[in-house]
Amino acid sequence: MNAFNPDVTFDLAETPLRELNAALHKATGESNTRHWRVLNPNGRHALAAGVKAPLTIEVDGHVGYYCAGMNQQANVIIHGNAGVGVAENMMSGFVHVRGDASQSAGATAHGGMLRIDGNASARCGISMKGIDIIVQGSVGHMSAFMGQAGSLIVFGDAGDALGDSLYEAKLFVRGSVKSLGADCIEKELREEHKLHLHEKLTAAGLAGTVDVSEFKRYGSARQLYNFHIDNAGAY
Amino acid sequence: MCGIVGIFLKDPKLEPDLGAMLSSMLCVMTDRGPDSAGFAIYGSGEKDHVKLSLRAVEGYDFEALANSISLTSGGAPKLVVRSTHAVIEVPKAHESAVRAALAERHPEVAIVGTGSRMEIFKEVGLPRQVAERFDLPRMSGTHGIGHTRMATESAVTTAGAHPFSTGADQCLVHNGSLSNHNDLRRNLRREGISFATENDSEVAAGYLTWRMQQGKSLGEALEAGLGDLDGFFTFVVGTESGFGVLRDPIACKPAVMAETDQYVAFGSEYRALVDLPGISKARVFEPEPATVYFWDRAA
């Protein structure tokens, strides 16, 4: 871990998770207690879910389901792996998983940024609605399924059915894509997209780590927006 | 939901602690399945003997049962009673005679599993109660699997509790639901596999037994299952020397694994693994969908 002097430390081996979450929900971010450290998370669920203040929360270990769900404004750093649905329905803020993430990372999230240093499992960014997700490893099958807005940037590979039934989410994959889902197609990577990538990588603290021109861009063919009988088999 | 756990030891030094490790993992998974719990444990055994795990009603006189089959089994069988279950050990040569005697004279007793090393215990109730009544924390062995059940496809009964065993030293725990189990059960019965329940998970166990009877390894049987089993599943399976994990291609049901030099462990959730020794330094990963994972002691 970085040199980091927390204002508050919660050791979940001694304090119940409910107390931590209650304290986080009370915090406004206006006082000086902005840096929180959580020890011994031991895979507990819903850790730091529903935080809505500009706090920095460092979690020292692996977390369970829905960590940092519904996040607004907070900067949540997980020094370990994350279970199902990390940063699910995030509105704003920054969630950084230093290890791997399980399924449905960043699902339905409206805003903010999710950075995953390792791999993300299946359905990463399912129904994403504005979040930016950066995965330095690979993502599993059906990632960005029904993605509506925001961007999914994958340094590694993508599994089967990437972007199935995609709306307007922007997908960028540097490695291979096992298969594209219904209505998802490869599109030209123009200068504006390289700029977009550069901007997002800079925001994630990853500027210069990869060459943005190495990504391929994927998006919706927009053939399934309205029901058409010829497409019945694809719905 | 259902919770499943499993542990396969590489380091013999941990063998006396196997039951305690499995028990702690099982209890953490109570939230995922409070209806019933069960476990299979691979302990000591003799090559020319077979252990039969028996289940009966509360307070059943297993001593009398052991006496009544002692002639059939060529002497008094070794007997260990644990609450509603008992394990009797008889020479392999007498196994079919003992089975016939049990069926004829003791139809009230169910055989829940057999094998040279495997013992199975399962009951309705909370995992902690189940682990305590069978004294799981004090058991030792090389590997074991466990299950906490939230009943979905069939009734909350002891017979419906996991693990399911349909072959010698073979057992399976399942999280999920199979959609083609009725059809498969019919076909497997035709192939000579017998089933004790209407439970979908028993069909999965029977399927693997059938494949292994055809000469396939557990790894190959699991691979074949990907094509023939329809529905959602995460399976953890045990054989006399092996431990396998398989998830369906959609991978709806959760799974986390941890591997160290000393063991391989499986949990439906990471928190089931947190009390294992050296877990903070373990390689923690999520098994890929439609991918067979398999460890073998013999290899």
Which tens digits make up the pLDDT trace of A113-163? 999 999 999 999 999 999 999 999 999 999 999 999 999 999 999 999 999
Chain A neighbors of B250, CB-CB under 8 A: 122
Question: Per-residue pLDDT for chain B (299 aa), expressed as one digit of tens each?
Answer: 899 999 999 999 999 999 999 999 999 999 999 999 999 999 999 989 999 999 999 999 999 999 999 988 888 899 999 999 999 999 999 999 999 999 999 999 999 999 999 999 999 999 999 999 999 999 999 999 999 999 877 788 898 899 999 999 999 999 999 999 999 999 999 999 999 998 999 999 999 999 999 999 999 999 999 999 999 999 999 999 999 999 999 998 999 999 999 999 999 999 999 999 999 999 999 999 999 999 998 75
Closest by Cβ to A62, choosing from B249, B270, B289: B270
Write out chain A residues lying below 8 Å of B175, CB-based: none
Closest partner residue to B284 (CB to CB) among A65, A81, A121 is A81
- Residue A157 has φ and ψ, to the nearest 5°, of -105, 165
| Residues of B engaging A, defined by a Cβ cutoff of 8 Å | 249-251, 254, 256, 269-274, 280, 284-286, 288-289
- Alpha helices in chain B, H assignment, sequence order: 18-28, 62-68, 95-105, 127-133, 181-190, 200-213, 218-228
Residue B205 confidence (pLDDT): 97
DSSP annotation of B286: P
Quote the minimal CA–CA distance from B278 to chain A in Å. 13
pLDDT over 90 (residue A231) = no
Residue of B nearest to A120 (CA): B286
Question: Which residues in chain B are contacts of A64 at CB distance < 8 A?
Answer: 269-271
Whether the ω angle into residue B163 lies within 30 degrees of 0, i.e. cis, is: yes
Q: Quote the pLDDT of residue A1.
A: 45
Residue of B nearest to A64 (CA): B270
Block residue for tokens 């007997």: B79
pLDDT of residue A3: 54
What is the pTM assigned to this prediction?
Answer: 0.92
Q: Is B2 among the catalytic positions?
A: yes
CA A131, CA A92: separation in Å to the nearest integer? 8
Are B274 and A43 an interchain contact pair (Cβ–Cβ within 8 Å)? yes
User: Quick one: pLDDT at residue A4?
Assistant: 62
Residues on chain A bordering chain B, Cβ-to-Cβ distance under 8 angstroms: 42-44, 61-62, 64-65, 81, 83-84, 99-100, 102-103, 121-122, 140-141
Quick one: tokens of B108? 């009230």
Shortest CB distance from A43 goes to which of B251, B270, B289?
Answer: B270
Contact by Cβ (8 Å): A85, A109: no
The pLDDT value given to residue B71 = 85
Q: Which of B4, B11, B88 is nearest to B287 (CA)?
A: B4
Residues of A in contact with B254 (CB under 8 A): 83-84, 102-103
Which one of B250, B269, B286 has the shortest CB-CB distance to A43? B269
Query: CB of A123 within 8 A of CB of A142?
Result: yes
Contacts of B269 in chain A (CB under 8 A): 43, 64-65, 83
**What confidence tens digit (pLDDT) does each residue in A57-74 have?**
999 999 999 999 999 999
Given the residues B2, B27, B171, B252, the one annotated as active site: B2
Return the pLDDT at B3: 96
Nearest-by-CA chain B residue for A161 = B250
Quick one: pLDDT band at residue A175, thresholds 50, 70, 90? very high
Compare all CA atoms of chain B with the CA of A41 and give the residue at the minimum distance. B271
Q: Give the pLDDT of residue A234.
A: 77
Proportion of chain B in helix, strand, coil states, percent, rounded to 5: 30, 30, 35
